[in-house]
A = this chain, B = another copy of it.
Amino acid sequence: MNADQLTDGLQTPFLLIDKNKLQANVHRLQTRIESLGAVLRPHLKTVRSLEATALILPTRSAPATVSTLAEAEALADAGYNNLLYAVGISANKLERAAALLRRGVNLHILLDSLEQAAEVAEYGLAHGVTFSAFIEIDCDGHRGGLPAADPAVVDIARRLSGAGACFQGLLTHAGESYSCSTPDCIRAAARQECGALLQTAELLQSQGIASPTLSVGSTPTAHFADDLTGITEVRAGVFTLFDLFMHNVGVCAMDDIAISIVATVIGHNKRRNTLFIDAGWMALSRDRGTASQKQDYLYGQVCDMSGTPLPGVRVNSANQEHGLIELPADGPCALERFPIGSRLRILPNHACATTAMHLQYQAIDEKEGTREVWTRITGW
């Protein structure tokens, strides 16, 4: 059964996930990272769903990354126990982090300052828990973190070495790889990412401090890194679903994109060859990430219900609950092809932002002919 049949009668707009594509995306990267001698620690922030997690992680104790404590708590409830909370920690979140440790979750936190390290270690000591902490390294000026081989890293690692805390290793994220559009550019970002950690670990080693884990990652570098010598783990998130942004970066084919929004045609403007659909930015998200890339997909690439892209047809603009699609005046994509009430699928610019607009996803398996409703983990 196809997507059209498997979703017949559902109220639009809704978010559709192609399970077979998701599984193929996961298998490809899992195999790749293993063959390079490292472990994949998938970032679950893209789908944020227990049903998806069961397909993304091989076991309940496999390493995973989360972007909120709410995800960590929901995953812990489901028995997952190796979680990295990859956003700089603040004191107001330590109570919830400690509660996860007491439940037996192998939770790792992230920091990049001596102030944070002191707060963490003191809280741990005072409350009888030992926080496992990564130090964030800034490999390309995109986010938090200290520069590679910054001497401050030594002080922070030492501060994490007493009671209350333990130094787990170094973490970096090659945000710069998102602005690439060639394999060479991504490979250079991957080398920079690994180099920043290896160089910092060497400094620590020279001071007698071991870095048990070196964690790099971004979806582009994970797919193009050709040497992970010395690196223990790789994080990536959006690779599970992919999107138009990653297609522009050159990491996936259009056909690998496992997420789309299904919408109904609710109006025609015959004077302007324009369609209105019932998916606006509430369903598609406000993300316009492709605006700065080689191909701007506006508010998304329009496909027929089989998922085949209609060449040159995009969602041109979006109101809260209306999407507007400008069509060519004639040819196979002229207005008559899309009667009011017919349905379309829209590939989004950014999967993480589009899933965030939905509390449920319709996950179909066209091979098995099944459809499941997946639930999003919400909040912080």
Taking beta carbons and an 8 Å cutoff, which residues of A are in contact with B?
9, 11-14, 45, 67-69, 87-93, 96, 112-113, 115-116, 119, 138, 143-144, 147, 175, 264-269, 271, 276, 278, 281-283, 285-288, 319-322, 324, 339-341, 350, 352-353, 356-357, 359-360, 378-380
Contact = CB atoms under 8 A, between A and B. Distances in A.
A378 B379 CA distance: 13
A115 B266 CA distance: 11
B87 A266 contact: yes
B113 A340 contact: yes
Contacts of A116: 267, 340
A88 B68 CA distance: 37
A269 B281 CA distance: 33
Given A282-B356, A288-B288, A359-B378, A92 B11 contact: yes
Given A143-B324, A287-B286, A90 B356 contact: no
Interface residue SS majority, chain A: loop
A265 B93 contact: no
A233 to B, nearest CB: 20
A89 to B, nearest CB: 7
Contact of A278 (B11, B87, B379): B87
A67 B321 CA distance: 7
Contact of A321 (B87, B112, B357): B87
B320 A90 contact: no
Contacts of A175: 319
B267 A341 contact: no
B264 A92 contact: yes
A90 B144 contact: no
B144 A276 contact: yes
Contacts of A321: 45, 67-68, 87
Contacts of A90: 12, 264-266, 278, 340-341
A267 B93 contact: no
Q: Quick one: which of A11, A68, A69, A90 has the most chain B CB within 10 A?
A: A90
Contacts of A319: 143, 175
Contacts of A356: 282, 357
A144 B319 CA distance: 11
6 shortest interchain CB distances as A-B pairs: A286-B286, A88-B266, A144-B267, A88-B267, A286-B287, A67-B321
